[in-house]
Structures are given as structure tokens and as C-alpha cells.
Structure 1
Amino acid sequence: MPTKQTLMTVLLAVTCATSASAQCLSDAQVSDLVANYVAKKPAANIEGLSDADGACTRAKVNSLLAQRFGKVVGYKAGLTNPAVQKRFNTDKPVWGKLYEGMVLANGAAVDAAFGARPLFEADMLVRVKSAHINQAKTPMQVLESIDQVIPFIELPDLLVQAPPKLNGAGVSAINVGARLGVAGAPLAVPAYRAERYAFLQALADMQVSLTDGAGTRLGGGKGSDILEHPLNAVVWLAQALAQEGLAMQPGDLISLGSFSPLLPPKAGLSVTATFEGLPGAEPVRVSFK
């Protein structure tokens, strides 16, 4: 029979092993990371994090961001497109928080150097109507719990000196690069069930394109490029948040992820995102200065 001392040794070993498997960035490292975020200067690279490391670091980062930016206005699901997952050597999405002031009006003019490692991508927001969204298991159940679908150009910031060295957990650690975005005119969710089925199909089939001021296509993709249906990003997010004791609330804005490659802005560039095949969807525009 093991002695009390032996049991304590075993428990200590288990505790140490557990701690070693989740080496979060230290408080000092996170403080430096957020200071660089605020200053829009590239931060030290974040490499080799496990999923637990990324989640732990994200929590610390958001604690500091909340002190500066205040109210959380929603969440972003990131790496929901397999092509983008491949870029960051992962096979699953990640999530971050959106803060007040991050979502700009359609046609906004933004500094090309809006972040340390600024990028832009075609995206989409939905607005939560009901807390039932947290139990959604299908795109239709998500649709029944939202009241708006909003064309969006996200302006993320990968923050670190060498973004290609980020893995999925590293992207999670930097709050999925949440910085800014430009929202277009919202589309109301159809009231009748038959219309909702048609709307769901349109979301999956829509062709999303980014073009410059001359009309040259910069990139794009199809609605179903995001987890086979863009609203599946919300299904995934609900489950991911629940694992950490969090939940979406009515009024929250949810960013679904990228329909296009991540592209670098430059001064003088004007970008338009269109959502062809989604009835009523108007273009959303941003210009860089």
C-alpha cells in the first residue's frame, strides 16, 4: 500500500506534468504583447504553443484588452476556412473577442498601417437575437437565433514579427488578430420558413469576391468554403465557448471567418467585397490611406 509520502510524490509529478503541458505566456510576456498591439509594433514571435497554451494566453491577453477597450461586442471565429487553416498548420478553428470600436461603418478610410502586421479579408457578421444560439447544432438553428447577416471586410492584425511562424494556438493567443473591420448594410433574416431554407442555400452557394478600385479581382471564395456552410462557424463557436464557461448574448456580433486569402493593405488601395448570389446583399467597401 503506498505511503502518504509516495502519494504526495505522485500527485506532485502529475501536477508538474500538467503544468508543463500548458506553458502559457508569462504575465510579463503578455504585457509586452499587448503593449505592442496598442503601439502597432511587431511583437516577439509566438512559436510552438499547444492548444492549452493558446487558450491560456488568450485569456490573459483579453484580460488586458478589456482594461483598455472595455465592452465586448461579440466574438470572431477564425481559421474556419481549410485553406487558411493550412497556412497556420492546423486543422481546426480558433476564436477571439471583438471589442467596442472595432467595427467601422461601410466606406471607412483606414490607415494602411492600422496594425503591426495588417491584413484584410472578405468576411461576414451575424447578429445574435436569442441566447438559444448557444444550443444550435445546425445552420437552420443558428438562423433562427440571429436577426441580421452583415457583409464584412475584416482587418485583422497578426501582430508578431514573423506571422508564418504562428500555428493555430499562436493565432488563438493573439485573440485571433482582432483589430478592425468594416460592416456593410445588414440583411434581415427572412420571417418565413420556406424563405429561410432558400436563404440558407444562398449563404452556402454565394460567390464572395474582393476587387480593387479598378475592378481587378484580388481574391474570394464560396460560402461553403467556411466549414461547408458559413453558419457552421457559429455552431462550432457555441461549443468552443461553452467549454470555457462562456456564451453568446443577444446583440453580439459574430465574425464567421475568411472567404478569401489574407491580403496586405497599401496606401491608396480601395477594396470592395461583393456577395453574389445572396439576395439583397450590397457591396462593402474600405479604402486605405
Structure 2
Amino acid sequence: MRRNTLAALALAPLVLAGAARAACPDDAAMAAMAASLLNNTPVPPPAPGMSLAEGLCAQNRLVPIMERSLGRVVGWKVGLTNDAAQTRFRTPHPLAAPIYEATVRARSGDTLPARFAAVPVVESDLLVRVRDAGINTAGADHVAILRHLDQVIPFIELPDLALADLGQMDGPNLLAVGVGARLGVVGEAFEPPATAEFAARLGSMRVRLVNEQRELSEAPGTALLGHPLNVIPWLVGDLAARGTALKPGDLISLGGFSPALPAEAGRTVTATYTGLREQPVSVSVSLR
């Protein structure tokens, strides 16, 4: 298990639990931010020197505004699930935010604008769908978690890093902008067997992201908190600290296997998962 996993599982919900008592960017500031983001215009940080609690409060004000354009919330994304992302954003644990209908609307092979966001980036990711509310009490055992999932879906996430000056992007600001949730492209879903063998596949698979010119990244399943399914008990704890829980039908974006890479016009990006199933499975998007 990666070195930060236990700290990540323990720390973030405790840090975020005080959000309701924190100061917060006001409604007008978040409405202005949402308008800029939906116009694909980079923004300044919503407030200088925010804490994680203040960033979460800002997120709670941003999401209802974004829903008007991006559609209803359909689940959650978890960001900063690997060491490189945590280092880049100076936060030693994951962060979560809602995802929208628009995040999962596009299908593999679709063509989307390269300028789909204020600061558009591309990541290889993986979605799972919650079968039932038992996921909230499944604990950390991988086979127990699989019993409460009914779909695994190859996924290229198309996030928005939002800030005009990415040097100012840290954990609180990432929370405030909804952990960058915007668009994505889904591949063919399949029902995961609740077996130790499939859990092992999730950990040992290789996820490769390429375009027509070159390989962009390659990572093992263990890149996400030591195992992709370790993301779920972290999210359960984080949501409990917010006073909510996963529900049947929720989609969970487990995190980036690749770094957040610039979205390049004229490129087709493909994520391939080798070892996840008997034959490699892929998802792709063309950016115009």
C-alpha cells in the first residue's frame, strides 16, 4: 500500500468536518466564478488563503449554480488519489466533489471541443457505479466493496483546472472549483464479479493514455491509493463528514491514473486498460 494511504483515509474527513462553521466566499463571488467557468474563462482564486473547510463551503455554493448548465449531480469524483497529484496541489490526501450529467454524457469515439473548459485538461480515469446503499458499510475489504457495485466503466475525464494562475492552485482552491468536475467520455460498462481474482485485476492492470503521436502516460492500478477500491472507503468517510452518503446509482470517478494533461486540439486521446478483463478495453475522445 502506498505510503500516504492510511494518512489519507484518516485525515481528510477530519479536516473537512468543520466546514459548516467556517467562513466562506459569499454567494455573489461564487455566482461570478460559475459564470466565468461556464464561459470557459479562467478565474482568480475565490478568496486568498482559504482553508480546506472554506474551500468546501465554496464548493457547496458553486455546485447548485453549475447544475443549471451541466445537469443534475449523478455521483462523485475523487481527486488527488496519487502521490504526484498530491505533491502538485500541496495536499497530502484526496479531495472530492460532485459530478454532473454532462460529466458522463459523451461516449467513446465522440468528438468534443478542445476548449471545453476554462483550463481544459485530460486524464485517464475509471468509473464505478453503486449497486446499493450497503457500500456505505462495506468497509475496506475489496471483495465486500465489489458486492455493492454493479458497473465498472472505462473513463477519460475532461476536468477544468479553472485558475488563471495555476501556481495558486492548492487543495482549498481545488475544492472550491469542484475538484475540476466538468466533462468526460465513458466507455463500455460491464458488471464486475465480486471475487478476489477481479479485485487483484484492478490492482495489477496497466492504464495507458496515448494520442496519435505518442504515449502520454502509463500507470498501474495501484497508482490510486494503493488500489482503486481503496478510494471508496475514503469517499464514504468524506461524505459521512459532510452529513451525506453514497446511494444506489451513484457514479464514482476514482481518480487520475495520468497527470492532468493539456487538452490539445486536433488530437484523439485513448485510454487502454490492460489486465482489467481478458482482453484490453479502451475509451477514446477526439478533440477539435
Aligned-pair CA distance for 1:65: 2.1
Aligned-pair CA distance for 1:136: 2.5
**Equivalence for 1:230:** 228
Aligned-pair CA distance for 1:70: 4.1
Aligned-pair CA distance for 1:178: 0.4
Aligned-pair CA distance for 1:199: 0.6
Give aligned-pair identity as a percent: 41
- The reply to whether residue 106 of structure 1 matches residue 104 of structure 2 is no
From the superposition, tell whether residues 218 and 68 of structure 1 become closer, same or farther in structure 2 (CA, over 3 Å).
closer
1:48-83 superposed Cα distances (whole Å, 9 cap, x missing partner): 221111111111111322344442111101111111
**Equivalence for 2:22:** 22
SS of equivalent to 1:241: helix
- Aligned AA for 2:100? Y
**Equivalence for 1:119:** 121
Give me the whole-angstrom Cα distance separating, in 2, the residues matched to 1:282 and 1:164: 36
1:115-145 superposed Cα distances (whole Å, 9 cap, x missing partner): 0000000000001101111123212222110
Q: What is the aligned-residue RMSD (CA, Å)?
A: 1.7
Contact 2:71 2:102 in 1 (8 A): no
TM-score (norm. length: structure 2): 0.88
Give me the whole-angstrom Cα distance separating, in 1, the residues matched to 2:78 and 2:236: 10
1:92-119 superposed Cα distances (whole Å, 9 cap, x missing partner): 1111111112211111111110000000
Contact 2:102 2:184 in 1 (8 A): no
Selected match of 1:144 from 143, 147, 150: 147
Give me the whole-angstrom Cα distance separating, in 2, the residues matched to 1:213 and 1:221: 19
Contact 1:88 1:164 in 2 (8 A): no
Contact 1:221 1:260 in 2 (8 A): yes
- Aligned AA for 2:67? A
Give me the whole-angstrom Cα distance separating, in 2, the residues matched to 1:153 and 1:239: 25
Contact 1:37 1:115 in 2 (8 A): yes
SS of equivalent to 1:80: coil
Give me the whole-angstrom Cα distance separating, in 2, the residues matched to 1:161 and 1:52: 22
Give me the whole-angstrom Cα distance separating, in 1, the residues matched to 2:268 and 2:181: 21
**Equivalence for 2:204:** 205
Selected match of 1:217 from 215, 218, 221: 215
The range that moved more, 198-207 or 132-141, is: 132-141
Contact 2:45 2:173 in 1 (8 A): no
- Aligned AA for 1:170? N
- Aligned AA for 1:247? A
**Equivalence for 1:33:** 33
- Aligned AA for 2:266? G
Gaps of 5+ in 1: 1-17
**Equivalence for 2:250:** 252
1:14-39 superposed Cα distances (whole Å, 9 cap, x missing partner): xxxx99x8331122211111111111
SS of equivalent to 1:24: coil
1:42-57 aligned at under 5 Å gives the runs 42-46=42-46, 47-57=48-58
Gaps of 5+ in 2: 1-17
